[in-house]
Amino acid sequence: MAAAGVDHPVFGALLDGGVRITSAHVTDIPIAEYVLAQVLRASVPIEAMDASTAQRQWTKHDWREVHGTRWLVIGLGSIGSAVAVRARAFGAHVTGVRRSPTGDEPVDAMVTPDDLLAAVPDADVVVLCAPATRHTIGMVDAGFLGRMAPQSLLVNVGRGQLVDEVALRRALDAGRPARAILDVAVDEPPADDSWLWDHPSVTLTAHTSAGGDGRHARAADVFAGNLASFVAGEALVDEVTPESREAPPG
């Protein structure tokens, strides 16, 4: 279950049975790198450049810079924060969404979930980093998508259940947003005849954004530290509670 978030039903059953569970924030680095790589891929026409070279054509290409774009990162835990840090390093303006801002978030502006829809129209890139809870399932619906800017990107590295996929298809067909970059889907993998596989405005990957090779060593360090704390009767780092599994974004 290394790739499963604590929203997975098995963890609820374990908690109900008295098992203590901790999360391990060891995938924020690769997921954030994935987000930046995919946004850059959608912005810089690298494939067109390669095609020109393969055809021995000395062709110039223009593109929209990431610098100066406005990002909306929904869910500002370890993953969302890592995304924000890297986007700001590229010169993007980042607004974070969190239910209880602390004032030290690595963003340029903060809003709460109550003000989320008002922030959507200004975003060039919307990144979903939230878990699937009763507060977030279906949050990206027709109303949300209808507020997105025509040339914007939607990136989902949270859970497929955050997005109404029927509404998303209609929105993409209408050109708002311009592209959806999805590392997660409601059904994984999608059915063979799912529109997600071949829609021209969808980049679909196999829930693989956490695949960085450094995650294993970080996970081992987290486990060893918590094991020592457990033996000593001390508090565990990032222990999961029933309440935290149902928390709103951030």
Residue 14, pLDDT score: 77
pLDDT at 5: 56
With beta carbons less than 8 A apart as the criterion, state whether 129 and 73 touch. yes
Asked whether residue 235 is domain-assigned, the answer is no
> Coil, helix or strand for 97?
strand
- As a whole number, mean pLDDT of residues 166-181 equals 97
pLDDT tens digits, one per residue of 22-70? 877 899 999 999 999 999 999 999 999 999 999 999 999 999 999 999 9
**What percent of the chain clears pLDDT 70, i.e. is strictly above it?**
93
**Residue 192 domain-assigned (yes or no):** yes
How far is the C-alpha of 164 from the C-alpha of 142, rounded, in Å? 8
Average pLDDT value over all residues in the chain: 92
Q: Does residue 111 lie in a domain region? A: yes
In-domain check, residue 224: no
Higher pLDDT, 103 or 4: 103
In-domain check, residue 176 = yes
d(CA 145, CA 168): 7
pLDDT, residue 248, reads 52
Instruction: Give the range of the structural domain holding residue 183, as residue numbers without chain letter.
Output: 26-47+64-209
In a domain, 174, yes or no: yes
The tally of CA atoms less than 13 A away on the side-chain side of residue 149 is 16
For the chain, strand residue ranges (E) read 70-74, 93-97, 109-111, 125-128, 153-156, 179-182, 202-204
Tens digits of residue pLDDT in 135-162: 999 999 999 999 999 999 999 999 999 9
Q: Which amino acid is at 34?
A: Y
Is residue 105 scored above 70 in pLDDT? yes
Q: Is the pLDDT of residue 3 over 70?
A: no
Distances (CA, A) of 213 to 3, 173, 210, 216, 218: 14, 36, 9, 7, 10
Q: What is the pLDDT of residues 207-230, one digit of tens each?
A: 999 999 988 999 898 889 988 998
- Is the omega angle on the peptide bond into residue 189 within 30 degrees of 0, that is, cis? yes
Burial of 74 (C-beta count, 10 Å sphere; 0-12/13-18/19+): buried
Query: Are 192 and 169 spatial neighbours (Cβ–Cβ below 8 Å)?
Result: no
CATH label of the domain that carries residue 109: 3.40.50.720
| pLDDT at residue 88 is higher than 80 | yes
Q: What is the pLDDT of residue 250?
A: 56
Structure tokens, 113: 């979930």
CA distances (Å), origin 84, targets 35, 65, 188, 202, 204: 10, 17, 27, 23, 22
Give me the pLDDT at residue 245, please: 54
Residue 14 forms part of a structural domain:
no
Catalytic residues: 159, 188, 207
**Residue 39 belongs to some domain of the structure:** yes
* pLDDT of 199 strictly over 50: yes
Please count the structural domains in the chain: 1
Residue-level pLDDT at 247: 55
Q: How far apart are CA 2 and CA 212, in angstroms?
A: 13
The whole-number average pLDDT for the span 5-28 is: 77
Q: What percent of the chain is modeled with pLDDT above 90?
A: 76
